[in-house]
Amino acid sequence: MGLRIEKTGKAALDDTEEFSTNQVDYVLSVPGTRDRWLAVHFATLGGGNPGDQVAALLTSLFGAMMTTFR
C-alpha cells in the first residue's frame, strides 16, 4: 500500500531570493508490518519554475525510478 503526493512549494536560497519547487512525496507501508512506513521525498527547482520542462523531466524520472522500488 502506498500514497503519492505531488505539490508546488517555496524554497528560499537566501533572504533575497525565493524559488518555487516541484515536490513529490511517496509514503509506503513496510511489508509484513502494520505500523512501519517509509517516506521518500523529492524536490527540484528545475529551471526556477516548477512547471518548466526541466522540472517536469526530473519529476518524471523520479516517478519512473520509484516504480522500480521494491
DSSP class per residue in 7-58: EEEEE-SSSS--EEEEEEEEEEEPTT-SS-EEEEEEEE-TTSSTTSHHHHHH
Q: What's the domain count of the chain?
A: 1
Is a pLDDT exceeding 80 seen at residue 19?
no
Q: Is the pTM of this model over 0.95?
A: no
Joined grid coordinates for residue 34: 502494520
Determine the average pLDDT of the residues in 17-45. 88
Note down the domain range covering 59.
2-67
Q: What is the DSSP letter of 51?
A: T
What pLDDT does residue 37 have?
93
Distance CA 35, CA 29 (A): 8
